């Protein structure tokens, strides 16, 4: 009998004042504190995008941070989540900033 919690994966895009405000660095720190893996990067259209994976409750905590908290100087107008699904194993070993 398995007691393993289901793993979730979700893609995200954060809109607002999220570039030039250390958003990626804070996202990386928060993800490590929460215990999720994935990545974050700036886009050419002024948003921040990425993917989060981990146990469902931890992914939900990171989704809340991406929607409501962000870095101290950021202003989050909205966050879109897509491709949310259950996965059998994590695809990443840590959370990293991509360029």
pLDDT (tens place) for every residue of the chain, 99 residues total: 455 678 999 999 999 999 999 999 999 999 999 999 999 999 999 999 999 999 999 999 999 999 999 999 999 999 999 999 999 999 999 999 998
Distance of CA 75 to the CA centre of its chain: 16
CB contact burial 20-44 (16+ within 10 A = b; e otherwise)? ebbbbebbbebbeebebbbbbebee
CB 9 within 8 A of CB 52: yes
Crossing angle of helices 23-34/56-68, nearest 10°? Answer: 150
**Catalytic, out of 5, 42, 83, 94:** 42
Of the candidates 18, 6, 4, the one whose C-alpha atom is nearest the C-alpha of residue 80 is 18
Indicate if 83 belongs to the active site. Answer: no
CATH topology of domain 7-89: Alpha-Beta Plaits (3.30.70)
Distance of CA 41 to the CA centre of its chain: 10
């Amino acid at each position: 009998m398995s007691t393993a919690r289901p793993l979730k994966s979700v893609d995200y895009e954060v809109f607002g004042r999220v570039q030039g405000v250390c958003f990626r660095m804070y996202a990386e720190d928060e993800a490590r504190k929460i215990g999720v893996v994935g990545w974050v990067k700036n886009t050419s259209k002024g948003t921040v995008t990425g993917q989060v994976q981990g146990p469902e409750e931890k992914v939900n905590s990171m989704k809340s941070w991406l929607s409501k908290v962000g870095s101290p100087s950021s202003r989050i107008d909205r966050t879109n989540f897509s491709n949310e699904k259950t996965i059998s194993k994590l695809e990443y070993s840590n959370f990293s900033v991509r360029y």
